Structure 1
Amino acid sequence: MAAIVEPFWKRKTLAELDRTEWESLCDGCGLCCLQKLEDEDDGSVYYTRVACKLLDLTSCRCSDYPNRRQYVADCIQLTPAQADQFRWLPPTCAYRRVAEGKDLLAWHHLVCGDPDAVHRAGISQSGKMLSEDSVAEDDWEDHLIFRAG
């Protein structure tokens, strides 16, 4: 009888993942690509439905992922070294969940095999976002959707 091998995200730390494993953790929700506002008084981070200009508003994937930093200078590159700072990511995010020692959720494509499950589960903002090119930065506060934490 063959031994059952745990999936890589259960048997490896984030730092042990190879590039393919790391990239595959992204569930395609697009939430990390939404513009966020920070409360100056208490440091709380609020997500808006205003998306980065490179985010495809339907697929929730970056339209130019390899070159995104050329067009969006402040695009955050997630790395295992930052895992202790992932609290700003939504609690459904695979990077955050693995960093916190939690399993992936049932709708994650690595669990269910369906990359569109994240949309059907209502986790992504597919079809609900606005491009940052269409909303003045002074108006982002009018489009808050939830507080990170």
Structure 2
Amino acid sequence: MPLEKAFWEKKSLQDMNTEEWEALCDGCAKCCLHKFIDDDESEEAKPTDVINAGETIVYTNISCHLLNTKSCECTAYQTRTALVPDCVKLTKDNLKDIFFMPPSCAYRLLYEGKALPDWHPLLNKGKKAAMHKAGQSVRNKTISENDVDLESFEHFIVTWPLDTP
């Protein structure tokens, strides 16, 4: 008897209900890192609203002050966009603009027609242990934005958020 497909395998992102949508988030917290657009022609870091040809996203290990780095969870999830105006709430409507999400992001993977990685909590009884063990979360890798001068972000550039197993 064949196993029934999981909801993310049989539903499109657009067809998922709120509970299913929220369950897709692996809780890695890479989206809570400060990111900048690297443009060789500009001397200044630019916000990540739009990315043009020849530009790349640069990640730092500087995290939002609302992030609990041990649990990799926002301490004010329901009100985060009001408290942090630059915080992006990923929705079905803005999904097409997810260039700033890390390559391991479940929303991005499914949007691009790819499978969830084997460390994803949905494939591990809802537990994050496999994700942490695979080094796919921000746990023990960040510094709070409250503890750094954001003007010196270039000293905090990292590539590990882009690594995928």
Same fold (TM over 0.5): yes
Q: Distance in 2 between matches of 1:15 and 1:95?
A: 11
2:122 counterpart of 1:110 = yes
Q: Which residue of 2 aligns with 1:18?
A: 17
Does the aligned pair in 2 maintain the 1:107–1:121 contact within 8 Å?
A: yes
Q: Is the 8 A contact 1:25 1:95 kept in 2?
A: yes
Structure 2 unaligned residues grouped into runs of 5+: 41-53
Aligned twin of 1:145: 158
Which of 88, 100, 103 does residue 112 from structure 2 map onto? 100
Aligned counterparts of 1:93 and 1:136: Cα–Cα separation in 2:
28
> TM-score with structure 2 length normalisation?
0.83
Look up the match of 2:62: 50
User: Does residue 121 of structure 2 align to residue 80 of structure 1?
Assistant: no
Q: Tell me if the contact between 1:37 and 1:141 (Cα under 8 Å) persists in the aligned partners.
A: no
TM-score normalised over the length of structure 1? 0.92
After superposing the two structures, state which structure 1 stretch, 6-15 or 139-148, moved more.
139-148
Q: Residue in 2 aligned with 1:70?
A: 82
Percent identical among aligned pairs is 39
CA distance in 2, matches of 1:70, 1:81: 19
Question: 2:34 is paired with a residue of what secondary structure?
Answer: strand
Tell me the SS of whatever aligns to 2:68.
coil
- Higher RCO structure (Cα 8 Å, ≥6 apart): 1
Number of residues paired by the alignment? 148
**What do the CA deviations read for 1:37-69 (whole angstroms, capped 9, x no partner)?**
111343211110000110111111101100112
AA in 2 matched with 1:36? K
> Distance in 1 between the 2:154 and 2:113 partners?
33
Matched, 1:119 2:119: no
Q: Which runs of 5+ in 1 are unaligned?
A: none
